Structure 1
Amino acid sequence: MTLTLDETDTRLRVAPDVPWVTLVWDDPVNLMSYVSYVFQTYFGLGKGEAKRLMMRVHTEGRAVVASGNREEMERHVEAMHDYGLWATLSKEDEA
């Protein structure tokens, strides 16, 4: 089967976005309890999951806290900045 240019363009437009992630990084300013609180409040995580992610940030220097399309991850990064946390986004396979 040979695709016309229109069919190829449509496939390119509807191709799923490459998964992106929001990374939260360790910093010398925020208390661990505050980081857990932010994860619970903003992401709606339970205390255990929020603490697990906070400990990953603390011990490994960073943690992936969300994944999805780029626009959504950009919103999460901005929200983390609003809470005073250091966050970045990255392609999932580069995280």
Structure 2
Amino acid sequence: MTPLAVPDIAQERDYRLDEAAAPNRPWQTVVWDDPVNLMSYVVRVFRDYFGFSPEKANALMLHVHNDGHAVVAEGAREQMELHAQAMHDYGLWATVRQAPQ
């Protein structure tokens, strides 16, 4: 009989502790590359939603396309969560993370 899998408690991470340890670090909204949306659509979303210039929207889209993701906004966690939800509403893949140190 195979024993049941037990999570490795030592490897689990409590992100609430991370937040408490670094409360001044900003949060980021990250948009991820996907096989569905056209590059021109991603540029339009960045321009319409964030108000980016055509040059900045295009540069961020190229980061998403070439690097697999791009940070499109940085600030308070609640605002970044709203941005990520808006990206989902546009059909883009987005997540929120705390900015690296």
TM-score (norm 2): 0.76
Alpha-carbon RMSD across the aligned residues, in angstroms, is: 1.5
Question: Which of 13, 26, 29 is the matching residue for 1:19?
Answer: 26
Equivalent pairs counted in the alignment come to 80
Which residue is equivalent to 2:79?
A: 72
1:17·1:69 contact (CA, 8 Å) conserved in 2? no
Which residue is equivalent to 1:30?
A: 37
Counterpart-to-counterpart distance in 2, 1:19 and 1:86: 20
CA deviation after TM superposition for structure 1 residue 18, in Å? 2.7
CA deviation after TM superposition for structure 1 residue 17, in Å? 4.3
Q: Structure 2 regions of 5+ residues with no counterpart?
A: 1-22
The structure where helix makes up a greater share of residues is 1
Secondary structure at the counterpart of residue 58 of structure 2? helix
Runs of 4+ more than 3 Å apart: none
Secondary structure at the counterpart of residue 61 of structure 2? helix
Counterpart-to-counterpart distance in 1, 2:63 and 2:74: 16
Q: Structure 1 regions of 5+ residues with no counterpart?
A: 1-15
TM-score (norm 1): 0.80
